[in-house]
C-alpha cells in the first residue's frame, strides 16, 4: 500500500493563501512603505504559514528550530550525510511567522536601513519562504550568519552537489530575477508535489520509499531521473517529473516488493 504523509506534514501550500492573508500582506507592505504591487512586480509568491511544525533541534543562537515535519526529516538526513563527509551544516533560522518578518523589517527600518536595502535581502511579510516551514538558512562554523562568504565554503560546495538528493534547493541564486541578492545560505525543501490526479488509480500498488524523507511513490510510477544507485539494482529509466534528484543517491529503495518494469 502506498504511504501518504500525515496531514500537515508538508510545506504550506501557496495555493492555500486566503484573501484575508493576501489583504493583510498588502496592508503591512503599505505601512512599511513599499510601493503597491512591489511583490507582484518581483514575482514573489504569497507564502502561508506552515499548518504544522516540528522541532528539529536548535539554531546557532540556541533558539528552537522548527520546520514542517517532512522538512525536518529531510534536513536530519542531509545534515547527517554531510557530517559523514566531515561537513558541518548549522541552522541559522527555520520557520518564521508573518509577525516575526514584520518585526524584522520594522527593526531594520527603525535603524536607518533603507527599504530598498532591506528588500534586497528580506521579502515583505507574507512572502517569506520561511513562513512555509520548509525554508531555512544554513551556515558552517567560522562563517557569520547570512554572509555571502558561505558561498566559498566546502559546506556550500557540498550542498550544491548533494542538497537536491534530499529535496533541498537554493532559492536565490545569482541573478534570480526576484530582486533578492544572492543568498547561498537560504535553502528550501521542495519535496515532491502531491500525487497527480491521474495517479490515483495506482496508489494501492506497492511503493518505492525514499530513505531521506519517507515519501512513497506508488509503483509503477517510474522513478525520478537518476542513474542506478550502487547499492540498489538498476532502476527503470523514469519519464515522470514527480521528483528530480540531481544525481544517483541511495534515496530510493524498495521496502517490500519490487515494482514491475513500466
Query: Of the two residues 137 and 165, which places its CB atom closer to Zn ion in the complex?
Result: 137
Pick the stretch among 131-139, 174-182, 189-197, 247-255 that binds Zn ion (CB under 5 A). Answer: 131-139
* 102 contacts Zn ion (rule: CB under 5 A): no
Annotate each residue in 135-164 with x if it binds Zn ion (CB under 5 A) or - if it does not, as one string: --x---------------------------
* 59 contacts Zn ion (rule: CB under 5 A): no
Pick the stretch among 114-122, 134-142, 202-210, 245-253 that binds Zn ion (CB under 5 A). Answer: 134-142
Q: In angstroms, what is the minimal distance from the CB of 233 to Zn ion?
A: 39
Give the residue from 171, 177, 191, 170 showing the smallest Cα distance to 13.
191
* 186 contacts Zn ion (rule: CB under 5 A): yes
Q: In angstroms, what is the minimal distance from the CB of 129 to Zn ion?
A: 7
User: Under the rule (CB under 5 A), what is the footprint of Zn ion?
Assistant: 137, 186
Amino acid at each position: 500500500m502506498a504511504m501518504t504523509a500525515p496531514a500537515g506534514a508538508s510545506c504550506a501550500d501557496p495555493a492555500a493563501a486566503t484573501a484575508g492573508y493576501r489583504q493583510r500582506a498588502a496592508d503591512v507592505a503599505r505601512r512599511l512603505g513599499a510601493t503597491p504591487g512591489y511583490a507582484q512586480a518581483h514575482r514573489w509568491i504569497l507564502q502561508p504559514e506552515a499548518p504544522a511544525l516540528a522541532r528539529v533541534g536548535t539554531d546557532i543562537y540556541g533558539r528552537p528550530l522548527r520546520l514542517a515535519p517532512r522538512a525536518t526529516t529531510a534536513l536530519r538526513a542531509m545534515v547527517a550525510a554531510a557530517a559523514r563527509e566531515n561537513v558541518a551544516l548549522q541552522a541559522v533560522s527555520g520557520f518564521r511567522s508573518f509577525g516575526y518578518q514584520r518585526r524584522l523589517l520594522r527593526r531594520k527600518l527603525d535603524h536607518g536601513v533603507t527599504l530598498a536595502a532591506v528588500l534586497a535581502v528580506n521579502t515583505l511579510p507574507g512572502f517569506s519562504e520561511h513562513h512555509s516551514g520548509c525554508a531555512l538558512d544554513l551556515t558552517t562554523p567560522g562563517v557569520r550568519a547570512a554572509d555571502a562568504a558561505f558561498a566559498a565554503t566546502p559546506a556550500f560546495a557540498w550542498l550544491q552537489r548533494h542538497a537536491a538528493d534530499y529535496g533541498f534547493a537554493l532559492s536565490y541564486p545569482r541573478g534570480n530575477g526576484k530582486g533578492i541578492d544572492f543568498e547561498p545560505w537560504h535553502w528550501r525543501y521542495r519535496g515532491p508535489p502531491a500525487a497527480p490526479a491521474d495517479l490515483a488509480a495506482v496508489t494501492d500498488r506497492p511503493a518505492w520509499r525514499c530513505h531521506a524523507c519517507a515519501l512513497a511513490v506508488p509503483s509503477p510510477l517510474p522513478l525520478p531521473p537518476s542513474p542506478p544507485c550502487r547499492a540498489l539494482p538498476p532502476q527503470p529509466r523514469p519519464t515522470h517529473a514527480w521528483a528530480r534528484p540531481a544525481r544517483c543517491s541511495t534515496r530510493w529503495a524498495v521496502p517490500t516488493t519490487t515494482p514491475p518494469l513500466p
